[in-house]
Amino acid sequence: VQVVYSGGGLVQTGGSLRLACTVSGLTFENHAVGWFRQAPGKAREGVSCISWSVHATYYTNSVKGRFTVSRDNAKNTVYLQMNNVKPEDTAMYYCAAGPDGGECSWYPDDFAYWGQGTQVTVSS
């Protein structure tokens, strides 16, 4: 399984950024995909997740109303649209695919397939 990112980088406070995560090597439409982030010195936290079945979406409280997760199964890709970003959004962002038929979760250990991550830095 391979996970490839695009997007990420440096953005000013209040700006927007879109992350994309393309997963190959599995039946993509059968897998929930989560976005996680980890800032220096902090634990990895769940940011958002999109389910495989009805494309239900979930967000941690700190990003609700600002971030939007979506998926395009034809392209094996999940997107995280980040609007009105804040300095506290600065972190390494990861997407991860869960097990076949599994549900969304906030726990990293529930996700089997991870990429290397992409850095997002929000300047104040």
Residues with Cβ within 8 Å of residue 44, at least 6 apart in sequence? 36, 37, 38, 94, 108
3-state SS, residue 92: strand
pLDDT given for residue 93 in this prediction: 98
Query: Over the stretch 9-65, which tens digit does the pLDDT of each residue have?
Result: 999 999 999 999 999 999 999 999 999 999 999 999 999 999 998 889 999 999 999
Indicate the pairing of strand 2-6 with strand 17-24: antiparallel
Q: Are 96 and 36 in contact (CB under 8 A)?
A: yes
